Amino acid sequence: MGQTMTKEENNQKELVKEFLGGENEEETVERLMSFNTLMMRYRSAIREVTTKLQVLDDELSLYGDRNPIESIQSRIKKPVSIAEKLGRMGLPVTVEAIEKNLNDVAGIRVICPFIDDIYKVANMLTCQDDITVVAVKDYIKNPKPNGYRSYHMIVEIPVFFSDCKKPMRVEVQIRTVAMDFWASLEHQIKYKKNVPEHDTLIQELKECAETIAATDEKMQNLRRRIE
């Protein structure tokens, strides 16, 4: 009781109001329901894809003696981020626009021990006949200028509901423990743009990414020699 809302919570409330506010109460309720339905569908898609990844990990750890997946995280994009992204794209904030234009409402991050595990997991997932690959961005073979490395895919999976089957899109990011370490820290640092040595920091972050990539390669070679 009596708790004050944080700035973010306030922003979120405003955006949701703007987003879901209809001409009248009935319309608002209707929009809220269709938004909640869509988010439920994205959550279900995350479950489907996560289960597939867990099954693969389970099977491979039984026949090999190690797990190709270290951990799996997932998230649903927050309403405030959904509204912001649609705004940036010059699109109206509606349920239809979300479904049609956003590929990253449902997001899964798979952390693998070694670089070759990334490609193994990606291949085994996309070989399955109910998965359609919509797009791939290989930031491992082609790192971003800032040094970011990760394997990104947008996949589509049919999800069965009580009265319909819906193809749902999920963003899957696959990276090594080391790439994840760099991305997490870079994410925390990059928004602080008003520091004096900004350019030097960017350069040093990039150097860190390269050191990490070299270590990833070395660890993979070590493992291959031992196996």
Q: Point out the residues that are catalytic.
A: 171
User: Which of 129, 134, 125 lies closest to 174, judged by CA?
Assistant: 125
User: Which does residue 186 touch among ligand GTP, Mg ion, none (CB within 5 to 8 A, set by kind)?
Assistant: ligand GTP
When asked if residue 104 is in the footprint of ligand GTP (CB under 6 A), the reply is yes
78: closest CA among 107, 116, 47?
A: 107
Residue environment code for 11-27, b if the CB has 16+ CB neighbours within 10 A, otherwise e? ebeebbeebbeeeeeee
Cβ nearer to ligand GTP, comparing 192 with 225:
192
CB of 149 to ligand GTP, least distance (A): 9
Is residue 154 within 8 Å of 134, Cβ to Cβ?
yes
Q: Which is nearer to ligand GTP, 31 or 137 (CB)?
A: 137
Total of residues contacting ligand GTP (CB under 6 A): 10
Neighbours of 173 (CB within 10 A): 20
Which residues in 67-106 contact Mg ion (CB under 5 A)?
Answer: 104
**Contact of residue 70 among ligand GTP, Mg ion, none (CB under 5-8 Å per partner type):** none
* Binding partner at 176 among ligand GTP, Mg ion, none, C-beta below 5 to 8 Å by kind: none
Residues in 124-163 at the binding interface with ligand GTP, rule: CB under 6 A: 137, 144, 146, 148, 152
Judged by CB under 6 A, the chain residues 170 through 199 that form the site for ligand GTP are 173, 183, 186-187
User: Closest approach of Cβ 92 to Mg ion, in Å?
Assistant: 19
Structure tokens at 90: 């010059």
Query: Rounded to a whole number, what is the distance in angstroms from the first to the last CA of the chain?
Result: 59
- Residue with token string 């995280």: 73
Could you tell me the CA-to-CA distances from 52 to 102, 127, 130, 131, 171 in Å, in that order? 23, 12, 11, 10, 14
Contact residues for Mg ion, defined by CB under 5 A: 104
Contact residues for ligand GTP, defined by CB under 6 A: 104, 137, 144, 146, 148, 152, 173, 183, 186-187
